[in-house]
Amino acid sequence: MSDKYQVISILKKDAILQLLKKNERIDGRGLEDFREIEIFTNIYNKAEGSARVHLGDTKVVAGVKASIGIPFPDTPNVGVQVVNAELIPLASPLFEAGPPGEEDIELSRVVDRGIRSSEMIDNKKLALIPGKKVWMIFIDIYPLDYHGNLMDAFGLAAVSALLTGNLYETEINEDDIILKENKIPIPINHVPIFVTIGKIQNKLIVDPTFEEEMVLDAKITYTIDENNNICGIQKSGTAGFTIDELIMARDIAIEVAAKIRKYLPLKKG
Amino acid sequence: MSDKYQVISILKKDAILQLLKKNERIDGRGLEDFREIEIFTNIYNKAEGSARVHLGDTKVVAGVKASIGIPFPDTPNVGVQVVNAELIPLASPLFEAGPPGEEDIELSRVVDRGIRSSEMIDNKKLALIPGKKVWMIFIDIYPLDYHGNLMDAFGLAAVSALLTGNLYETEINEDDIILKENKIPIPINHVPIFVTIGKIQNKLIVDPTFEEEMVLDAKITYTIDENNNICGIQKSGTAGFTIDELIMARDIAIEVAAKIRKYLPLKKG
Amino acid sequence: MSDKYQVISILKKDAILQLLKKNERIDGRGLEDFREIEIFTNIYNKAEGSARVHLGDTKVVAGVKASIGIPFPDTPNVGVQVVNAELIPLASPLFEAGPPGEEDIELSRVVDRGIRSSEMIDNKKLALIPGKKVWMIFIDIYPLDYHGNLMDAFGLAAVSALLTGNLYETEINEDDIILKENKIPIPINHVPIFVTIGKIQNKLIVDPTFEEEMVLDAKITYTIDENNNICGIQKSGTAGFTIDELIMARDIAIEVAAKIRKYLPLKKG
Amino acid sequence: MKKVSNITEVIKLLDENGIRSDGRRLDEMRKIKIEVGVLKNADGSAYIEMGNNKIIVGVYGPKEVRPKHLAIPYKSLIRCRYEMMPFSVSDRKSPSPSRREIELSKAIREALEPAIFTEEFPRTMIEIFIEVLEADGGTRTASINAASVALADAGIPLRDLVTAIAIGKIDGKLALDINGIEDQYGDGDMPIAMMPQLGYVTLFQADGIFTSEEIEKAFEMAKKAIWNIYEIQKKALKSKYLQIVKEVDINE
Amino acid sequence: MKKVSNITEVIKLLDENGIRSDGRRLDEMRKIKIEVGVLKNADGSAYIEMGNNKIIVGVYGPKEVRPKHLAIPYKSLIRCRYEMMPFSVSDRKSPSPSRREIELSKAIREALEPAIFTEEFPRTMIEIFIEVLEADGGTRTASINAASVALADAGIPLRDLVTAIAIGKIDGKLALDINGIEDQYGDGDMPIAMMPQLGYVTLFQADGIFTSEEIEKAFEMAKKAIWNIYEIQKKALKSKYLQIVKEVDINE
Amino acid sequence: MKKVSNITEVIKLLDENGIRSDGRRLDEMRKIKIEVGVLKNADGSAYIEMGNNKIIVGVYGPKEVRPKHLAIPYKSLIRCRYEMMPFSVSDRKSPSPSRREIELSKAIREALEPAIFTEEFPRTMIEIFIEVLEADGGTRTASINAASVALADAGIPLRDLVTAIAIGKIDGKLALDINGIEDQYGDGDMPIAMMPQLGYVTLFQADGIFTSEEIEKAFEMAKKAIWNIYEIQKKALKSKYLQIVKEVDINE
């Protein structure tokens, strides 16, 4: 994606910048409006949880798989959480097949940290035999159609798949885990929402489209829990923010998160 | 090998096509003749079994190694079989060093499936302590000199190495396996033969040479067991076959397999 | 580094060759002089042992890490030793990021063999529960600034880090290893010194600089223990040596090793 | 993650009335749904549900070949990547390509290429990306059904659509369109792809054991099913076209 | 290898007097030492000790881009590689790049690039190589402090130095410049990099939970510390320059 | 897979009469057989049996360098790949190149290159592919013996053949041409390659411990053996040449 800068025409770039001066956006949205959100959950039956999220034209999927594994030695009493995201070429001519690059890795690590810091999953309930056997929760996220702001779409898909996901009930028989017929919801404590705000010249815009991303100077992602605490921050892009901009962006993010939260699927159980 | 198409001259290509119209081949063979076959077995002493196969100028080797390992969880009572083929640059200027590409992988998977589907190896006899310890059989196949039809040569080499291979006799001592002095043959049930038939325009030819492969439209490999059952099929190439052609090819394959079978080394034990 | 040959100017090359005819070197050294040596040890506290070695302008670091692991099946009663060297781009515009190439691997394997053959580490003392648990000693070596003769600098850094390194004292409690508060020196038997001698036309020179390496015909590295035994040899480069040259180089190496030995840090314990 | 059934329990794939574990007859296909033009970035796309299989396909091209030296002077280079998402199967699949995925990418590409007028676009490439979202036996044939529709949706001139179905063997009998359990516990699997109008078979594979007669019978079963699927493919393409026409109407 | 403490033992990061486990107050920074021009091959270089962190940075460029097609027509391509040496941490790190190292390489690059007049060197590249020799919490901020000095040492025109510090949260309180134990057992970590003169924040990350107020307070704490570090960076650069001047004097 | 002997049992490499476990005297070489021109695709090839070692070598070139930017303006680029087949050793070797194989590829290349008039073929490359089919100690020296014959068979002008042998140390005594068991349980291994006519040593390695005197004695032992092998190499080349002459005769 190193040649993203060549992707949109100078005319379009100018149009975006001219409109922004008047606090307008090329798709008619206000600066702090996000695109239409649609969330479909439990759609792939081999997954313990799944979600397809549409954020405007951006479409992504997330799937949750669970398996029984061994805990890390330094956290013997909590489950294991793995987040993986891959920018597959299906979703954009800018993405290439191959092992995850730095963009894929950043996206998955920001989602991972947001879920972890918010303590979304009640990790202690995932320990089956402390020190020996725990649930490992794998969250895999893929774009299907990339039209900007994968960060927030990925976060929303991961969170939606977890919220509506199920695990087999277990029974412990000495050192063996027996999976029972019944399924119970993945234990959930909190729900983080990811809000990315772009900076173009001195304007802050919510939920940038692909074309806006092409002219952005920098981006800031705030992860917000249901108590309006910040449980994750990630700045990216080749410019900086003033502290005032960052505080303003934080306030916008808190407001936007509250609105997005209404789209969430109902928590199971 | 993406530029195989540049490898032979247009004159040679024309010659092949002109001859075929008269049901003749550039090396004088009839359409359903295979090249001279030579098989040498038990030639590399570090291997549990080994074979060198000459199919005309095409020369390949296969070696069998065995080690004691853990069965797959879903097949606790059968041994493990691994087939690996690599197109090494020794054998042709068209092959490149590096991890196996799609051609290497297809070849090894077709051999693997043929051996597996025919139940050539008596897999259940490879379970030493059910669910815990089984023989793992590795079959590694390499070309030395590539002059067409690696598929059939690879299959013949793998089968010959297995047929004449040996394993240590074992003794079970609680959870340990003790290898004894004596060696016994690898347990064999059936013997598959791989027959590849090429299609050029509307002609079907057996055992294509390298030059014929360069002008082939498509190939079909049938794997045939000693009861003339089909235990494997693989079509490749960028054209299609009519159903009649496929049935004709099947009949040719069954006939050819019976002839090739006579070249097989004697089964051990 | 395949285009090393383009790196220095023909003028400089000529200067080096002209001087050598008079048994002089471009930096004023005699043919058998090595550059100034400085060794700093125990400088990185997360490592069990560490050393920074300056050999003229060439600067390298080595760090020793220890962990408890499982011995190799064929050597159940000795510890495991792993040497790894990587030519990182920090140290030279000629080095590229990525997995170790053949030069990195040769360097680390020569250091590894020298340490192993000299029996520097008292490997048997690293077995904690024979056949089950042993100390694994990892020695990682990196260049910081490359100005020739990484071989000898790498060897000296590895040896210095081992000589001054420490392991936790252990207590065995059935099948568990308990690490105690106290630290004891890594058990050391012998101390090898690596001496590389370059051949330019028919001259032998000790400790070649980067510029000399660019005009060298071949190199020979002798590893010498404190009894003047040879515990490692490695010839490299695209020319050969006469047997007389190799014997002469061996004698030079023994003399030089004795001088370098005086720079070694004091052995612990 | 799937609950492992008691392994002593015998898996019964066919009941006394010849009815399969999912209620189908031996010659009965699973439900198929195809949607066309589901992605905006891809030049052509399709989504298929074939039983529980859920697969999405995007096609890009003809476009410039990268790296350039791979360009073929007299035809378009076809690339195909078949990938199962980690959550599409019972035990999470590692995200890196498996040997199975690499082989199937080649087999599917060689099933589709015969239908493409590649010689009309020399020095270009056409890329076919197949993502399996949920797998339940027969993903390669479902992928081919969706991919040929996606190629048509991309406006790439085709000799014919490519249509595919698998014949399996369960309890010693041929069965149309086997599902995951039938594939796992059955006796054989024989996927077949055809250009129905032209009568060419472009994918043909098998594992398991088949007699000569079974192969001929399998072709008969496959042909019938393939004509049915072919209609569904065409209807899917037409419905998108009709929709476009309607949109144009509305806009006028 | 670190001795694992008895895990039932509670880690106390703050005593009854508000003093941290290493004796510092909540708003107290660790000692910083910066040396400039420590490497001969690199065009610019710096070595930093920030508490127990020991990091060396080398900068090469502006130089020709390889491979050529990655060159950007209107600015310099910035590359950054952050690597922890295997022996820099308690449990040996595998020498191949971890996902964490790959992410931090990007974050650090994007913290430094805003300060570089990249548009002055179109079609070139500038490479920043960061090697962590010993790690004890805050390696990314220490790396940025050293890297911006190394860029200046390489003579690359900068809008401002980039200066960085992390604010952590321990026992529910904000703490300046947290160390490894505080990072591991604390409640949060918020690294911040700024161009102090220009007032721009170029790196801003967080994990753990922070209230809105804490973020504002963290900025205040960070700004103060950043100005202090800025002086240390400038002094380090000046001292090398003075040294050069002296050498010139001597030679005259 | 090899049966693991009772490990308490001491391996005796030399009996009271100074006879080795395979019946040889200390200065006795294993049998060598070399065949030339065994492959049709390769420009030159050779097959060697040296004791139980079985190795095949193919040489391609001089040919165009790929990728082009690796071409050297004033000489031929020599490439060498030494590979052990997975079944060539007691415990199956993984097919991907090991660190040992990568090092030996370099050492063997640098043993052969001194003999090649590389400057006669600027901007070309010569590729040497070595495949070990069965290994029993001394594969690198056997590989060199075969490879230099294969280079000659390819018609590449050579200053001299390169001929190689290993000297080992068992029970404290130097032993010529050690086999696998002697290598594994012995005290040292010192492979040596020479251009016999020109008197140059082009490969020289050692592990284990040797005194200064032992090195000189090893050279003496090696030189004698190398002259013997040299004759075998030349005879192998001549026999192919004679065969060709005979074939020509027949055809006339």
- Whole-angstrom distance, CA of residue F161 vs CA of residue F152: 8
C147 CA: distance to closest CA in chain E (Å): 8
Residue of C nearest to F99 (CA): C105
- Residue F148 domain boundaries: 20-251
Output the six-digit token pair for C137.
């000693």
> What DSSP element (H or E) covers D50?
strand D44-50
Q: Is B15 on the interface with F (CB under 8 A)?
A: no
Percent of chain E scoring above 70 in pLDDT? 92
Per-residue pLDDT at A174: 84
Domain-located, residue F231: yes
| Binary contact (B233, D190; C-beta < 8 A) | yes
Give the pLDDT score at B2: 39
Domain presence at residue E35: yes
Domain count, chain E: 1
Q: Which residue of C has its CA nearest to F97?
A: C102
Strand, coil or helix: what is C129?
strand
- Cα torsion A207, A212, A216, A219 to 10°: value is 10
Contacts A59 to D, Cβ<8 Å: 39
Q: Which of residues 88-107 of D touch B (CB under 8 A)?
A: 99-100, 102-103, 105-107
Half-sphere exposure for D212 (CA within 13 Å, toward CB): 13
A14 lies within 8 A of chain D by CB: no
Residue E65 contacts C where some CB pair is shorter than 8 Å: no
Strand (E) or helix (H) holding B211: helix B210-215
Whether B and F touch, i.e. at least 3 CB pairs below 8 A, reads as: yes
Question: What is the secondary structure of E104-128 as a DSSP string?
Answer: HHHHHHHHHGGGB-GGGSTTEEEEE
3-class SS at C120?
coil
pLDDT for res E251: 54
- Secondary element (H or E) of residue B134: strand B133-145
Q: Are F79 and F110 in contact (CB under 8 A)?
A: no
Give every residue of chain C whose pLDDT is below 50, as ranges. Answer: 1-5
Distance in Å, alpha carbon of A125 to nearest chain E alpha carbon: 19
- Give D16-71 pLDDT, tens digit per residue: 999 999 999 999 999 999 999 999 999 999 999 999 999 999 999 999 998 899 99
Amino acid, res. A115: I
Pairing of strands E44-50, A127-129: unpaired
Alpha-carbon A250 to chain mean position: 17
Residues of B in contact with F181 (CB under 8 A): none
Q: What is the mean pLDDT of chain E?
A: 93
- Do at least 3 CB pairs under 8 Å connect F with A? no
Contact between B199 and B241 under an 8 Å Cβ cutoff? The reply is: yes
- Domain assignment present for D227: yes
CATH number for D112: 3.30.230.70
pLDDT at F126 > cutoff 80: yes
Asked if residue F168 lies in contact with residue F181, where contact means CB atoms within 8 angstroms, the answer is no
* Residue F10 belongs to some domain of the structure: no
CA of E143: how far to CAs of C88, E83, E152, E156, F209, in Å?
17, 10, 14, 18, 45
Residues 6+ apart with CB under 8 A from C202: C245
φ, ψ of residue B65 in degrees (nearest 5): -120, 145
The helix (H) or strand (E) run that includes residue E79 is strand E77-84
Domains and CATH numbers, chain A: 8-261 (3.30.230.70)
Say if CB C213 and CB C149 are below 8 A apart.
Answer: yes
pLDDT recorded at residue C267: 73
CB B44, CB B160: distance < 8 Å: no
Element (H, E) at F77: strand F77-84
What is the C-alpha to C-alpha distance for residues E224 and E28, in angstroms, rounded to an integer?
11
Neighboring chain E residues of C146 at a CB cutoff of 8 Å: 41
**Could you tell me the pLDDT band of residue D139, with boundaries at 50, 70 and 90?**
very high
**Count of CB atoms situated within 10 Å of the CB of F26:** 17
Strands A133-145 and A37-41: unpaired
C47/E134 Cβ within 8 A: yes
| Phi, psi values for residue B191, rounded to 5° | -135, 105
User: Which conformational region is residue C232 in: left (phi greater than 0), alpha (psi within -120 to 50 degrees), or beta?
Assistant: left
Q: Hey, how many other C-beta atoms are within 10 angstroms of the C-beta on F231?
A: 12
B residues 104..123 contacting D (CB < 8 A): 105-106, 108-109, 113, 116-118
| E204/A220 CB distance under 8 A | yes
Residue with tokens 């048994």: C23
Taking every pair of Cα atoms in chain F, the longest distance, rounded to a whole number of angstroms, is 67
E10 within domain boundaries = no
pLDDT in 10s for each residue of chain A, 269 residues? 334 445 778 889 999 999 999 999 999 999 999 999 999 999 999 999 999 999 999 999 999 999 999 999 889 999 999 999 999 999 999 999 999 999 999 999 999 999 999 999 999 999 999 889 999 999 999 999 999 999 999 999 999 999 999 999 999 988 889 999 999 999 999 999 999 999 998 999 999 999 999 999 999 999 999 999 999 999 999 999 999 999 999 999 999 999 999 999 987 65
- How big is the B-F interface in CB pairs under 8 Å? 95
Residue D121 banded pLDDT, cuts 50, 70, 90? very high
Share of chain F above pLDDT 90, in %: 88
User: Could you say which DSSP state residue B167 is in?
Assistant: E
Phi, psi of B127 (to 5 degrees): -80, 125
Which residues in chain F have Cβ-Cβ distances shorter than 8 Å to B89?
Answer: 60, 81, 127, 129
| CA within 13 Å, CB half, E34 | 28
Nearest to D88 by CA among F6, E202, F173, A62: A62
Distance CA C267, CA C164 (A): 6
Closest-CA residue to D144 (of D166, D126, D159, D123): D166
Residues of B in contact with F134 (CB under 8 A): 44-47
- Residues in chain C closer than 8 A to F188 (CB atoms): 117
Q: Is the CB of residue D46 less than 8 Å away from at least one CB of chain B? A: no
Beta carbons within 10 angstroms of residue F20's beta carbon: 23
Give the single-character DSSP code of D14: B
Predicted pLDDT of residue D252:
46
Taking the CA of residue A124 and the nearest CA in chain E, the distance in Å comes to 16
E116 part of contact set with chain A, CB < 8 Å: no
CB B264 within 8 A of CB B42: no
Q: How many CA atoms lie within 13 A of D211 on its CB side?
A: 6
E51 neighbors E179 (Cβ within 8 angstroms): yes
ipTM (interface pTM): 0.95
Of the candidates A69, A188, A72, which has an alpha carbon nearest to the alpha carbon of residue A128? A69
**High-pLDDT (> 90) share of chain C, %:** 90
Q: Does E158 touch chain A (CB under 8 A)?
A: no
Give the pLDDT of residue D248. Answer: 59
Please state, for a pLDDT cut of 70, what percent of chain F lies above it.
92
Q: Can you read off the two tokens belonging to residue C30?
A: 């005699």
Among B35-44, E63-72, E93-102, the range scoring the smallest mean pLDDT is E63-72
pLDDT at D8 over 50: no
- Confirm or reject contact between B244 and chain D (CB < 8 A): no
Q: What pLDDT, on a 0 to 100 scale, did the predictor assign at position F250?
A: 55
Q: List chains touching D (3+ CB pairs under 8 A).
A: A, B
| Closest-CA residue to C64 (of C77, C52, C82, C47) | C47
8 Å CB contact of F87 and B64: yes
For residue C184, the cross-strand partners are: C167
The answer, for C90 touching chain E at a CB cutoff of 8 Å, is yes
Max Cα–Cα distance, chain A, nearest Å: 69
Gap between the Cα atoms of C224 and C264, Å rounded: 14
Q: Is the pLDDT of residue E73 over 90?
A: yes
D128 has pLDDT over 70: yes
Please, where are the H alpha helices in B82-224? Answer: 102-117, 150-163, 210-215
pLDDT band at F249, cuts 50/70/90? Answer: low
Residue among C85, A74, C267, A117 at smallest CA distance from E90: A74
- The contacts of residue D251 (CB under 8 Å, 6+ apart) are none
Report pLDDT for E242: 72
Nearest by CB to residue B61, choosing from F3, F129, F133, is: F133
Predicted local distance difference test score (pLDDT) of residue D111: 98
Residues 6+ apart with CB under 8 A from D140: D82, D104, D107, D108, D164, D166, D191, D203
Supply the DSSP symbol for D136.
Answer: S
pLDDT tens digit at each of 269 positions of chain B: 334 445 778 889 999 999 999 999 999 999 999 999 999 999 999 999 999 999 999 999 999 999 999 999 889 999 999 999 999 999 999 999 999 999 999 999 999 999 999 999 999 999 999 889 999 999 999 999 999 999 999 999 999 999 999 999 999 988 889 999 999 999 999 999 999 999 998 999 999 999 999 999 999 999 999 999 999 999 999 999 999 999 999 999 999 999 999 999 987 65
Q: Please provide the DSSP assignment of C10-37 as one string.
A: HHHHHHHHHHHHTT--TTS--TTPPPPE
Q: Which two tokens stand for residue E102?
A: 């790959």
Assess contact for D83 and D130: CB atoms under 8 A: yes
Residue E9 lies in a domain: no
Cα–Cα distances in Å, from D97 out to A97, A104, D57, D135, F136? 10, 17, 17, 16, 37
Count of pairs with CB atoms under 8 A, one residue in B, one in D: 100
- Determine the pLDDT at residue F9: 53
What are the φ and ψ backbone dihedral angles of E133, each rounded to 5 degrees? -90, -35
DSSP SS3 for A8: coil
> Torsions phi, psi of E163, nearest 5?
-130, 140
The answer, for D185 touching chain B at a CB cutoff of 8 Å, is no
Report how far residue B257's alpha carbon sits from residue F142's, in angstroms, rounded to the nearest whole number: 39
| CB < 8 Å to B118, chain D | 209
Q: Could you tell me the sign of the dihedral formed by the alpha carbons of E50, E56, E61, E66, in that order? A: negative
pLDDT of residue A2: 39
Does B117 sit within 8 Å of D103, measured CB to CB?
no
* Tokens (6 digits) for C110: 């020569």
Hey, is the C-beta of D207 within 8 angstroms of any chain B C-beta? yes
Structure confidence at residue F6 as a pLDDT band (50, 70, 90):
very low
Task: Sort strands F200-208 and C230-236 into parallel, antiparallel or unpaired.
Answer: antiparallel
What does the angle CA E70 – CA A142 – CA E205 come to, to the nearest 5 degrees? 70
